[in-house]
Amino acid sequence: MEKIASIEKRRPKLIGWGFEGDEMTSSEREMVMQRCCDRFGGDYEIRLPPTEDEIELHASRLAVPNTLARFATNADSERLRHTYGMAFPDYVRIFDQDFTPAPDLVAYARSEADIEAVFEWAEGANVAVIPWGGGTSVARGLEPDVGGSFDGTLSLDLTGLNTVMEIDKTSRAARVQGGIRVPAMEAALKPNGLTLRHFPQSFEMASIGGMIATRSGGHFATLYTHIDDFVESLRTITPRGIVESRRLPGSGAGPSPDRMLIGSEGSLGIITEAWLRLQERPTYRSGTAVLFNNLQQAVDAVRVICQAGLYPANVRLLDPAEAKNNSFGDGRQTIVVLAFENADHPVDPWMDRALEIA
């Protein structure tokens, strides 16, 4: 098949979720503020996030080396955008205009050769390299806080590795580059009737390599819970060479090199390609929400449904507080969201049995 490259022209926001231009409406802001007032009481002061011009950023400790000049920069605007992820403490520091951990350099890799050049230079210059995919970490995995043993930090942005390289419709698999965002990959798979069907909360912005490196879990994941279940093989660039596993259905011959890299958080190398197991896009669906007046009853129902071998595509329990926060109920009931789906046959019998259990 022809390679399909994702071209995302929009720029991610400096502060907040999504891309520049994606803003909440005034009614959405009012709804969020009202929920906060209802939940915590009292009035709130609306505080706008700082602009780039308002932030005083310390000077970079590093000049851009000649070997990286084609794709690296120490511009303040790029350093600001590669300082934090999406955790609540990150937002607190952003609003306090504290960008102390900002990287000294940002490099935008477009090829494996670019990554190898970064590794070679960084080792000689004693510079820490932090991989950057979708920018959605909530565990400070993107923050260039590396202590005092390095002479500088470089954030290596991988969003330029954004191509679906190959689709194997017979085996229902695809070879994709690690920097592609999940929605872009799904758009490339859709004309072939295929989907990864893995939906972490960071779906909109997450990259494939980032999901693999952080061992992501997702919604619609009662059976296939983590990204491990979808990885067929990996190609990883390390400072000492390339690690590439064979594309096999499965092997019991010793430790799995893929399992060593999945969840490694970028500490062992940078995942540049992956063969992923896919699913046919579902055509039969059934979904509902079940209300419980007792939290324990809801927990028991979810447990029995999951242990019954029904494998709903989605089963999610929202306790009373979370349910109310998502506009379900008045804060006194627990909600269980159930969904079944299949590409081959109707799923009504499975839903009927799940409702009998509930």
Which CATH number covers residue 318? 3.30.70.3450
- Residue 17 within a domain: no
User: What is the rounded CA–CA span in Å between residue 145 and residue 191?
Assistant: 42
User: What is the rounded CA–CA span in Å between residue 243 and residue 234?
Assistant: 8
Tell whether 345 and 311 lie within a shared domain: yes
SS3 content of the chain, % helix, strand, coil (to 5): 30, 25, 45
CATH number of the domain that residue 97 is part of: 3.30.43.10
User: What is the rounded CA–CA span in Å between residue 83 and residue 93?
Assistant: 11
- Residue 44 within a domain: no
Tell whether 59 and 149 lie within a shared domain: yes
Query: Residue 70 corresponds to which amino acid?
Result: R
Confidence at residue 1, expressed as pLDDT on a 0 to 100 scale: 56
Of 280, 309, 330, the domain-final residue? 280
Tell whether 246 and 294 lie within a shared domain: no
User: What sign for the dihedral angle of Cα 264, 231, 216, 223?
Assistant: negative
Task: Indicate the SS3 state at residue 337.
Answer: strand
Confidence at residue 253, expressed as pLDDT on a 0 to 100 scale: 78
Confidence at residue 6, expressed as pLDDT on a 0 to 100 scale: 58
- Residue 209 within a domain: yes
Tell whether 296 and 275 lie within a shared domain: no
- Mean pLDDT per block of 10 residues along the chain (358 residues) reads 61 86 86 81 80 95 98 97 94 94 98 98 98 94 92 98 96 97 96 94 94 91 88 97 88 84 95 97 96 94 94 92 81 92 95 94
Tell whether 67 and 124 lie within a shared domain: yes
Query: Residue 172 corresponds to which amino acid?
Result: R
Tell whether 136 and 201 lie within a shared domain: no
What is the distance, to the nearest Å, from the Cα of residue 124 to the centroid of all Cα atoms in its chain?
A: 31
Confidence at residue 223, expressed as pLDDT on a 0 to 100 scale: 85
Tell whether 215 and 231 lie within a shared domain: yes
Phi, psi (rounded to 5 degrees) for 248:
-125, 150
User: What is the rounded CA–CA span in Å between residue 143 and residue 130?
Assistant: 8
- Residue 240 within a domain: yes
- Taking a C-beta distance cutoff of 8 angstroms, is the pair 214, 85 a contact? no
Tell whether 268 and 294 lie within a shared domain: no
User: What is the rounded CA–CA span in Å between residue 143 and residue 112?
Assistant: 23
Of 250, 280, 310, the domain-final residue? 280
313 Cβ contact list (under 8 Å, min separation 6): 220, 222, 282, 339, 340, 341
What is the distance, to the nearest Å, from the Cα of residue 141 to the centroid of all Cα atoms in its chain?
A: 12
Tell whether 350 and 293 lie within a shared domain: yes
Phi, psi (rounded to 5 degrees) for 353:
-65, -40
Confidence at residue 288, expressed as pLDDT on a 0 to 100 scale: 96
Query: Residue 263 corresponds to which amino acid?
Result: G
- Taking a C-beta distance cutoff of 8 angstroms, is the pair 189, 195 a contact? yes
- Residue 33 within a domain: no
Cα distances from 114 to residues 120, 177, 213, 305, 322, in angstroms, run 10, 14, 19, 49, 44
- Residue 269 within a domain: yes
Number of domains in the chain: 3
Confidence at residue 109, expressed as pLDDT on a 0 to 100 scale: 98
Task: Indicate the SS3 state at residue 262.
Answer: coil
- Residue 207 within a domain: yes
Tell whether 303 and 325 lie within a shared domain: yes
Domain residue limits at 262: 163-280
User: What is the rounded CA–CA span in Å between residue 64 and residue 105?
Assistant: 7
Of 157, 174, 206, the domain-final residue? 157
- Residue 187 within a domain: yes
- Taking a C-beta distance cutoff of 8 angstroms, is the pair 3, 162 a contact? no
CATH number of the domain that residue 207 is part of: 3.30.465.10
Length of the chain in terms of residues written: 358
- Torsion angle, alpha carbons of 181, 211, 199, 274, to 10: 70
